[in-house]
Structure 1
Amino acid sequence: MAPTLTPRHDGRLIRVRYDNAARGNCFDDTALHELVHALETAAAVDSCAVVELAMAGRNFCGGWDTTAFTELAGSSPETVADGLRASDAALRRIRRLPVPVVTAVRGRVIGFGAGLLDAVHLPIAATSARLSLPEARFGFAPAGVGYAIARALPRPQAYHLLTGATTASADQMLAWGLVAEVVADDHLDRATEALVETLLAVPGHTLRAVVEVVESSRATGRPDHAYDVSARTIVAGVAARGADR
């Protein structure tokens, strides 16, 4: 189940494959931290400009492994809250990667899977993909996933989804900004490959700068750091053109 890394395009693309398909690609603490470590390892390669996250099997993510809940018996709310914070901190490490992560979203996105989806930079969904949050039916209130959904969706739709009253279609995920594009099921792999090729046509340092602009702007709500990043690329670009004359 440990993620595998495969460099492609002279190391400019690194494919990270997560395979827990036998359990719907669900996660526990160990699996999550192994995936995040694999993504960070890929992004740390100097030549890497894009990371592709490939989720094996028919479903993107089946949520949190329910067998892990038995370990919580007798735990205090404070201990459980610390665990929730730790898993959300791991997802924030994905958002903070210096290169964009592209992923194909097919089948079911359940519970914790919504948090993983929200952390990835450029998810493309198949038409048949569906998002559900069943925690409330088991007596749980979603924490970090609840925050991500409440922030991304209009208030009534957030309640509709977080109470388990509805399942979101791929088109709804697109309208809410949870995915970048929706394509026909049989076109998903080709569309993902086409997006990767488009990104690889952009210089790697520019892609890293774009990620820095977007993520710093979202994190702070201010353009200050974006000015510095953009200025750095402009100066470098002008100097490069001058050297070519």
Structure 2
Amino acid sequence: MTLRLETDPRGIARLTLSRPERHNALDAPLMDALTEAAHRIARDPAIRVVVLASTGPTFCAGGDLGWMRAQTEADGPTRAAEARRLAGMLHALDTLPKPLIAEVRGPAYGGGVGLLAVCDIAVAADTATFAMTETRLGLIPATIGPYVLARIGEPAARRLMLPARRFDATEAVALQLLARAVSPDALAAAVEEEATAFLACAPGAVADAKALIHSLRPPVPDAVERSVAALVARWESEEVREGLRAFFAREPTPWTRG
């Protein structure tokens, strides 16, 4: 089972990524499971708050590279469908009418940063690290782009996305990707504090307030479709084929210097 959903008697649900052997990388089954879970949670009045957690040392390593490599060999319609699978998962989580809180015990890379950007609150261990690593492999952070830009702004996105720069939890808090960074031993209590605060609030009011926030966001026309088209085009590039080939062969990429 790549995803677990458990709800306690108070209505706090725990949605746990469970592919530790693959660093919780997002492949098609996990994306579909997250999308379906988001829809199920939205319909369940017993669930008041959702904690997005993970098993193993890594929160989420981003898109599964085997899944990505398959797209370089697929036809155009298949690439587009797979890009929309990822975009649809992010949209389902972003528009979930329940508070979504990330509990981040380890690194979050690529699509893992995208998951944090669609959460209402993200709390991390102060030892966690972050990066949008796509350009190192010839890829681009396309489908996560609209959500990351909304969270951290364009200047920070340029500084982090373009050179795939790694950053720590302190910087992630300063960028507002994280709400808080605490010691690993204090993480569970910090997430509990954030989650229980919602239990004093009217569920319908919380849902309506979240919907209002979404409606007031600066609009970007066709942002999702633009990101899907950009990802499909990038999957067709020679750089992606070379980048993924080098990764699996454990060789330097052609553009590596030094």
State TM-score, norm by structure 1: 0.80
Tell me the equivalent position of 2:124: 125
1:102 partner SS: strand
Tell me the equivalent position of 2:239: none
Tell me if the contact between 1:39 and 1:51 (Cα under 8 Å) persists in the aligned partners.
no
Residue identity (%): 27
Distance 1:163 1:78 in 2: 28
Tell me if the contact between 2:3 and 2:17 (Cα under 8 Å) persists in the aligned partners.
yes
Distance 2:45 2:102 in 1: 21
What value does the CA root-mean-square deviation take over the aligned residues?
A: 2.3
Distance 1:77 1:173 in 2: 36
In the alignment, residue 49 of structure 1 is paired with which amino acid? R
**Displacement, 1:107?**
1.4
Tell me the equivalent position of 1:8: 8
Tell me the equivalent position of 1:225: none
Evaluate the alpha carbon distance shift between residue 212 and residue 69 of structure 1 in structure 2; reply closer, same or farther with a 3 A threshold.
closer
Farther-moved stretch of structure 1 (31-40 vs 204-213)? 204-213
1:144 partner SS: coil
Aligned length, in residue pairs: 220
In the alignment, residue 158 of structure 1 is paired with which amino acid? A
Which protein is bigger by CA-based radius of gyration?
A: 1
Evaluate the alpha carbon distance shift between residue 187 and residue 68 of structure 1 in structure 2; reply closer, same or farther with a 3 A threshold.
same
Tell me if the contact between 1:132 and 1:164 (Cα under 8 Å) persists in the aligned partners.
no
**Displacement, 1:81?**
4.5
Distance 2:65 2:153 in 1: 29
Distance 1:203 1:155 in 2: 34
Larger RCO, structures 1/2 (Cα 8 Å, 6+ apart) = 2
**Displacement, 1:19?**
0.7
Tell me if the contact between 1:174 and 1:180 (Cα under 8 Å) persists in the aligned partners.
yes
Tell me the equivalent position of 1:243: none
Tell me if the contact between 2:148 and 2:157 (Cα under 8 Å) persists in the aligned partners.
yes
Farther-moved stretch of structure 1 (76-85 vs 199-208)? 76-85
1:142 partner SS: coil
Unaligned runs of 5+ in 1: 222-245
Tell me the equivalent position of 1:142: 141
State TM-score, norm by structure 2: 0.76
Tell me the equivalent position of 1:98: 97
Unaligned runs of 5+ in 2: 221-258
Tell me the equivalent position of 1:42: 41
Q: Deviations over 1:203-238 (max 9, x none)?
A: 3223222222222222669xxxxxxxxxxxxxxxxx
Tell me if the contact between 2:118 and 2:147 (Cα under 8 Å) persists in the aligned partners.
no
In the alignment, residue 122 of structure 1 is paired with which amino acid? I
Q: How does 1:66-215 map to 2 (within 5 A)?
A: 66-76=65-75, 79-215=78-214
Evaluate the alpha carbon distance shift between residue 84 and residue 60 of structure 1 in structure 2; reply closer, same or farther with a 3 A threshold.
same
Is 1:31 the counterpart of 2:33? The answer is: no
Tell me the equivalent position of 2:215: 216
Distance 1:136 1:102 in 2: 28
